[in-house]
Every structure is written in C-alpha cells, then in structure tokens.
Chains A and B, each alone.
Chain A
Amino acid sequence: MIECKDLVKIYKNGDNETVVLKGVSFKIETGEFVAITGPSGSGKSTLMHILGALDNPTTGSYFLDGQDVSQLSDDELAEVRKKRIGFVFQAFNLLPRATVIRNVALPLVYAGVEKKQREEAAKHALLQAGMSEDRFYHLSNQLSGGQMQRVAIARALVNDPAIILADEPTGNLDTKTGEIVLATFEELNRQGRTIILITHEHDVAAHARRIIHIRDGQIIEDEKVR
C-alpha cells in the first residue's frame, strides 16, 4: 500500500528554483492498477522517481507499506528498491551480451541470493511474464523488443516486490507489441500485483483501472475507470 501526503519537489539550480511537484497526495491500495498520466513537464517522472525510491521529496511524506521512506539515505533507498520495488523502463535496460536468465536474476545478486535459487526464481518470473522457456538461455541482444520488455518485466517481478513501476513501458514498441506487453501487466494485476504505469499516452493509460492525471505538479483528476 502506498500513501503520499503533500509531496513537494523543488529543484535548485543556482538561484533558480523550479517547483516540480506542488503538494501531491494520494493513496494506492495493494492490488490496484494505476496509470499516472500527464503531458511532459507535468512532474509525472519526478513523481515516479519518488514512488520508486530513486529520489527524496523536498517535503511531504511517502509511506510504502506503512514505512516512511521520504527521507532515507541513498543506501537505505537502495535497500527499499531491492526488496519492494520492481522497475520496468522504456529502454528495457537489459545487460547486453548476457543471457535472459542472468538478466532476470540480477536483482537477486544484490540481494545475496544463492545462484541455484536465483535461477529458479528467474525461471518462475519469466514464465509469469509470458516468456517461452526455449529463450531462457538466449542472449538479451538476440531478442525482439517485445521479448526484451517481457524479460524486463520478469526482472521486475523476480524479487516479489510490493509494487511494479513501469515508466513508459510501451514507448519503444510498436502498437501491437505494446498491446501484448500491456496485456501482460493486466494479467499480473489479475494475479494480485500492484502496478503503477507512467505514461503520456491515453490509449496506454486506458488499460489501467484508475487514472491519475497530473498537470503542472498537481493532481487535476483521479478517476476510476472500469
């Protein structure tokens, strides 16, 4: 469960202050499928960084499963990301020249999990993300875009996180492949995963069950769809 209260983010650049988030508050319950949308410059990326424990808000609090993670140090944030957050990026960000299995198991390397267990968990996650078994030992750069993104989704799943944060996951894919990836998210959500999708595309956001619209650092609409 996620609870944000009055999130404010100010970037300082010399004497210039840019207020990117101007007091954002919302709750996301476990098992929800939420899309955060808004035009570029609206602050949705900044919000995603805070939700993903990649950055601290200037003021305000952010509770992840009851723990306030808004003012943690770099290494404490790394710990939060390691255990409770799974990322899916627009550019996939797979290790090149590494096998699918090794890519998916990478978060578990930093969690100190043994190699055998890592591979088991990676296979399990890959099946959940809809990858076929015959590609498990392919190198990541031999895959198609859709397959790469499913590997990335498997990587996000592998440490069994509280939330999966997907930042424009279909941005580098054609429409058809994008639909398949989005269907994967829907399927994962049906299995009870909490998914937060950051996108500026309306069609993509429409796959979620709740859409939070952001503009100029503020929530302008929070609607349940479906």
Chain B
Amino acid sequence: MRTSDLLEETYAAITVNKVRSSLTILGIVIGIGSVIAMIAIGQGAQASIQNNIQSIGSNLIIVSPGAQRGPGVTVSAGQGSSESLTMADVEAVRQQLTLAKAVDGELSRRFQITAKGTNTNTQVVGTDSNYPTIRNVEIDQGSFITDQQVTDLAKVAVIGPTARDDLFGAGADVIGQTIRIKSINFKIIGVTKSKGGSGFFNQDDIIFVPISVSQHYLVGPNTQGQSYVSTIAISAQNATDMTAVQDQVTQILMQRHNITSSQLADFTVQNQADIVAAASSVTGIFTILLASIAGISLLVGGIGIMNMMLTTVTERTREIGLRKAIGAHRNDISLQFLIEAVMLTFIGGALGVVLGWALAWGVTKFASVTTSISLSSVLLAFGVSAGIGMVFGYYPARRAAKLNPIEALRYE
C-alpha cells in the first residue's frame, strides 16, 4: 500500500464522522494547549524572577542574622538572634575583608510615610554611600546619601520612583520636598532610577535614609543597646572571588561572635547564585506542578482517542472484513488505524500549540505575568501528541488487524 493512499484512506475515515473526530481532537487540543500555556507561565515566572534577582546587585553576598542551615540539620541560634549583627561587625568586615569592592550595613523596616496629606506604606532602608555600588542603584535626580550625612545624622532621604509616584504623583519634581517618617521630617535629596520589576519584587517602592538615622530615630538599638543592622551586603571584586569572600566573612564574624563551628553560626551568608538557585528551584517545582496538572488533561484526551478508535473499529468491522477479503494484510489494516489515531492527535497537537500560545498571550496581556514559549516545549507537545496517538491507537489498531475476515464480514 502506498503512503499517499494510506493518507487518503485516513483523511476519508476522519472526515466521514466530522463531529466525532472534532470532539476527539478537542480533547487533545485542550491537553496540549494547557501544557504549553502552563509551561510558558512557569518559565516566564522563572525568567522574570531570575532577572529581578540579577538586578539587585552584582557579585552580591548578603549576610543576614539568624540561623544558618547546616546540611540536613537546622540549628536554632536562640532568642534575639535577628538583631545579632551590629554596626561594629559591619566595620570589622569592612576593614578585614580584602577581596571586597564595597561593604555596607543596612537596616530596613516598613514604615508609614506621609507627605502633603498623602501616605504610603513602604520599605525604609538605612544605608550608606556604598549602597549604589553594591546594589546596582543609579541616581536619576539629585544625589545619594554621603558618608558625611551618615556621620551627621542628617535627616535626608533618597526615594524610589514608585514611592515618589505614590506620594507626590507620577513624575513630580520632589528634590527638596519633605516627607515624614515616624513623625520626623526628612528632606528628599535624590530619586533613584527605575529598576523595573513588578508585584512582590518591586525594587522601586523604597526609601533610603542614612543608616545612623535609621538606627537612632527610626528602628532604634537592640536589647543590648547596640546599633544593629538587618543585612550586611558585600560586593566581591569579581565573580570568581565569591566563594572566598563568603568564607572570609564567615571566619571574621565567627571570630567576633565567639562561635567555633559554622554549624552554630548566628548569621547566614548567602551569595546571589544561591538565591538564584533557590528561586529557580521554587519556580521549577511550580512549573512541574502546572505542567503535570495539564498533563492529566492530555492523558484524558488520549483516552478519548482510544475510545473513539475502539468505537470506530467496532463500527467498521464489516469494512475491515471486506478490506481483508480483497487482499489487505494485517499490517495494512493496523497501519491504517494507527495513522488515523496519530493524525487525530497530530492535528490536535497543532491546534493545541496555537491555543497554548493564545492562552499565554492572554495571560501576559491581561494578568501582567511574563510568559515565554520555548521551541522545546512546542516540540515536546508535538512529540507527546504523536506519541499519545501511537500508544492509544495501538490497541484498537491491533484489534482491527486481528479480526478474522470471515467473522468480520458476518458481523451485524
């Protein structure tokens, strides 16, 4: 039997019962479409989260107070540990760390900010002049906090574009204006450039003040009366030094805190790569979860194909008998039914890719969630749909091929 004839027979068989064929195809369309859309959403989320993390700084190492996780065990660092990194620690790290480009201490907390009758709740970060270098922050208007202002306890603030828009309206000129944090007036001396990012990763909804001001007037000292920081951020000279810097910082702080084993450390040292990896693994699991839910609908679609093919074989028993009587071999028959199933799933796969693309587009357009359709997921979808055709078409096809022509011709 020629391939062209095989395809012609298949075409004829599929078009004979258009409604049934379309409904069967619809099952596959929904399955493949949702797989494509879900993977696109998952991968889009992954890409945007990674982008956001990259934009928080270059060669960044972050030290935060609290428990450090050892392999397999979590050691509690005890009460009050979240205030265990002091300003003295920051100075020590700054002086002893040889491979760092810049070191800063940061003390962040959310406050209600008011300005001219408007108000917003945002992150207030106390920091020093090193912050822009470490965190890749650029100044749009005015200037950033200077070391002199830190020393002088100057009540000045640098504002992020989102916080500015919330308080003063979009694009307002705010240099010299006053905002109130905890009933203290701050003069705005600068506006940062937008870093992008949206939703829970908005890095523009932020206000910077000198760290000394934050420690003295906003957050206050810890229970021992020391000025503490919530984060020490370090920028390594280059990417290859990251591990060395991480080790060095750990050593310095362990020595200062009189801790002998890194398992018991009351701080955590993370580098950017760790954060990216952690976020990626979360979004990876998220993608797998979405894709497996979609995969179930694909499986159901496949069972639909099998169901239709079995019905078709039963309905066309006499026809199969005739085809065998006039000389069709077993292979001719099984191939014909198998191709029919694969054709259905293949058409379903093609339409499913279109549907998935449309869904992903719709999600991007209306839900502002970044999506990305990769070629590999499209190819995977096609492969899977053809595979489903083979798997679920095989049994009906074999059943058709095994029919005895005499009994098949007599079938009522």
Number of interface residues of A (CB under 8 A): 29
- Decide yes or no: A109 and B1 within 8 Å by CB, A79-B327, A81-B326 being known contacts: yes
Q: How far is the CA of A110 from the CA of B321 in the complex (A)?
A: 14
Are A93 and B16 closer than 8 Å at their CB atoms? no
Instruction: From B2, B318, B327, give the contact of A81 (CB < 8 A).
Output: B327
Instruction: Tell me whether A225 is interfacial, beta carbon within 8 Å.
Output: no
Q: How far is the CA of A109 from the CA of B332 in the complex (A)?
A: 10
Q: How far is the CA of A81 from the CA of B322 in the complex (A)?
A: 11
Instruction: Tell me whether B329 is interfacial, beta carbon within 8 Å.
Output: yes
Instruction: Tell me whether A183 is interfacial, beta carbon within 8 Å.
Output: no
Are B2 and A75 closer than 8 Å at their CB atoms? no
Q: How far is the CA of A81 from the CA of B329 in the complex (A)?
A: 10
Residues of B within 8 A of A143 (CB): none
Residues of B within 8 A of A49 (CB): 406
Instruction: Tell me whether A74 is interfacial, beta carbon within 8 Å.
Output: yes
Residues of B within 8 A of A114 (CB): 2
Residues of B within 8 A of A97 (CB): 16
Instruction: Tell me whether A206 is interfacial, beta carbon within 8 Å.
Output: no
Are B2 and A93 closer than 8 Å at their CB atoms? no
Are A93 and B332 closer than 8 Å at their CB atoms? no
Q: Chain B nearest CB: distance from A83 CB in Å? A: 7
Instruction: From B1, B16, B405, give the contact of A110 (CB < 8 A).
Output: B1
Instruction: Tell me whether A95 is interfacial, beta carbon within 8 Å.
Output: yes
Residues of B within 8 A of A62 (CB): none
- Decide yes or no: A81 and B16 within 8 Å by CB, A75-B330, A93-B318 being known contacts: no
Are A78 and B9 closer than 8 Å at their CB atoms? no
Instruction: Tell me whether A107 is interfacial, beta carbon within 8 Å.
Output: yes
Closest to B12 in A: A98
A54-B406, A82-B326, A109-B2 known; 10 new pairs, CB 8 Å cut-off, are A75-B331, A87-B325, A93-B319, A93-B322, A93-B325, A95-B322, A109-B5, A110-B328, A110-B332, A112-B1
Are A83 and B325 closer than 8 Å at their CB atoms? no
Q: Chain B nearest CB: distance from A126 CB in Å? A: 16
Are A78 and B329 closer than 8 Å at their CB atoms? yes
Q: Chain B binding site: helix, strand, loop or mixed by DSSP?
A: helix
Q: How far is the CA of A79 from the CA of B322 in the complex (A)?
A: 14
27 sample A-B contacts, Cβ–Cβ < 8 Å, listed by A number: A52-B325, A54-B325, A54-B405, A54-B406, A55-B406, A75-B330, A75-B331, A78-B327, A78-B329, A79-B329, A81-B327, A82-B328, A87-B325, A87-B326, A89-B322, A89-B409, A91-B318, A93-B322, A95-B319, A96-B16, A97-B16, A110-B326, A110-B327, A112-B1, A112-B2, A115-B4, A115-B5
Q: How far is the CA of A95 from the CA of B4 in the complex (A)?
A: 19
Instruction: Tell me whether A24 is interfacial, beta carbon within 8 Å.
Output: no
Residues of B within 8 A of A220 (CB): none
Instruction: Tell me whether A200 is interfacial, beta carbon within 8 Å.
Output: no
Name the interface size band of chain B: 20 to 34
Closest to B319 in A: A95
Closest to A118 in B: B5
Instruction: Tell me whether B324 is interfacial, beta carbon within 8 Å.
Output: yes
- Measured CB to CB, the residues of A under 8 A from B are 49, 52, 54-55, 74-75, 78-79, 81-83, 87, 89, 91, 93, 95-98, 106-107, 109-112, 114-115, 155, 159
Instruction: From A98, A106, A112, give the contact of B326 (CB < 8 A).
Output: A106
Instruction: Tell me whether B323 is interfacial, beta carbon within 8 Å.
Output: yes
Residues of B within 8 A of A52 (CB): 325
Q: Chain B nearest CB: distance from A210 CB in Å? A: 25
Q: How far is the CA of A54 from the CA of B408 in the complex (A)?
A: 11
Q: How far is the CA of A200 from the CA of B9 in the complex (A)?
A: 36
Instruction: From A89, A96, A107, A115, give the contact of B327 (CB < 8 A).
Output: A107
Residues of A within 8 A of B332 (CB): 110
Are B327 and A93 closer than 8 Å at their CB atoms? no
Residues of A within 8 A of B322 (CB): 89, 93, 95
Residues of B within 8 A of A75 (CB): 329-331
**By CB atoms of chain B within 10 A, which of A74, A79, A97, A111 has the most?**
A74
B3-60 at interface with A (beta carbon < 8 Å): 4-5, 9, 12, 16
Instruction: From A78, A89, A98, give the contact of B324 (CB < 8 A).
Output: A78
Residues of B within 8 A of A78 (CB): 324, 327-330
Q: Chain A nearest CB: distance from B222 CB in Å? A: 86
Q: How far is the CA of A97 from the CA of B12 in the complex (A)?
A: 9
Residues of B within 8 A of A55 (CB): 406
Residues of A within 8 A of B323 (CB): 106, 110
Q: How far is the CA of A75 from the CA of B409 in the complex (A)?
A: 18
Q: How far is the CA of A6 from the CA of B322 in the complex (A)?
A: 28
Closest to B324 in A: A78
Which 6 residue pairs of A and B lie closest in terms of their CB atoms, listed nearest first? A82-B327, A107-B326, A93-B322, A81-B327, A110-B327, A110-B328
Residues of B within 8 A of A159 (CB): 327
Q: How far is the CA of A111 from the CA of B332 in the complex (A)?
A: 11
Q: How far is the CA of A74 from the CA of B330 in the complex (A)?
A: 8
Q: How far is the CA of A115 from the CA of B3 in the complex (A)?
A: 12
Closest to B4 in A: A115
**By CB atoms of chain A within 10 A, which of B1, B319, B329, B331 has the most?**
B329
Q: How far is the CA of A55 from the CA of B407 in the complex (A)?
A: 11
Residues of B within 8 A of A111 (CB): 327
Residues of A within 8 A of B318 (CB): 91, 93
Closest to A105 in B: B5
Q: How far is the CA of A78 from the CA of B324 in the complex (A)?
A: 7
Q: Chain B nearest CB: distance from A97 CB in Å? A: 6
Q: How far is the CA of A22 from the CA of B56 in the complex (A)?
A: 94
